[in-house]
Amino acid sequence: MVTGHDFAAHAEVIAEKAAEIARGYFRGQLQVELKADESPVTQADKAVEQMVRDYLTEHFSDHGILGEEHGTKHGDSRYLWVVDPIDGTRSFLTGHPLFGFLLALLDNGDPILGIIGAPALRETLIGIPGIGATLNGSAIRVSGQTRLDDARLFVNEGEKIYRDHPAVFARLMGCGQTRRLGYDCYPHALVAMGHVDAVVDYDLQPYDYMALSAVVRAAGGQITDWQGNPLTLASDGRVVSAASPELHRDLLDLLNG
């Protein structure tokens, strides 16, 4: 039986190369372009993704690739690598160190391997559902917090949630023991590490959440859409991560209340 473990060594090499490229551009002179949706892209985004594509084409020529910057190649393959070269380009171009690198491997749509890299922090999380998750080689696990009233909660993309779902935003601002507004992948990494108990996220693309799904689940957590459905390539971009089934259920009740 093939598992994510069979590909983990390659994924680690890719993550190391991606981090080195990103650090080479970070807080340097960046050429910023705006895409059709007005989101920014830099030469770092393009360079990292091109490296990933070149590596995967060399080592796994029959695998598919879905990337933020260069689209899909062999999208109907059994194995599909999903890459976000710089998760949090706005963080990256403003010198904020919590940008990430995301890589997932899907087997017939199921994420069997995920990497969350934080190049500026020199951290790499690897998750293989059913086997476990590590941070720089050491095992990590979610906190196991079950009570929403005691939870440390991150709300990502809060201004978008406030704009589109003000009642949901108001409920989120009244729950938990500690609340923080955030962005991008790192709050979900903190869930996997056990430092944060839950993250509510919004308006994501598959390259934003597929790696998160693998890592959070591998660390013992729960991660779904806002309706409690497993994350797929067709999910609507609303995501919730939690450190226990009980906390996850209570957050779904709050989101859909």
Residues belonging to the binding site for Mg(2+) are 68, 84, 86-87, 208
Q: How far apart are CA 236 and CA 89, in angstroms?
A: 21
CB 113 within 8 A of CB 8: yes
What DSSP line would sit under 182-250, residue for residue? E-SSHHHHHHHHTS-SEEEE-S--HHHHHHHHHHHHHTT-EEEETTSPPP-TT--S-EEEESSHHHHHH
For residue 96, the tally of other CB atoms under 10 A from its CB is: 15
Q: 153: closest CA among 76, 251, 238?
A: 251
Q: How far apart are CA 101 and CA 249, in angstroms?
A: 29
Angle of CA points 230, 232, 238, to nearest 5°: 70
Tokens of 171: 């409920």
Q: Quick check: helix, strand or coil at residue 55?
A: helix
Tokens of 83: 């890459």
Q: 21: closest CA among 83, 72, 105?
A: 83
Q: What share of the chain is helix, strand, coil (3-state, %, to 5)?
A: 35, 30, 35
Q: What are the beta bridge partners of residue 156?
A: 182
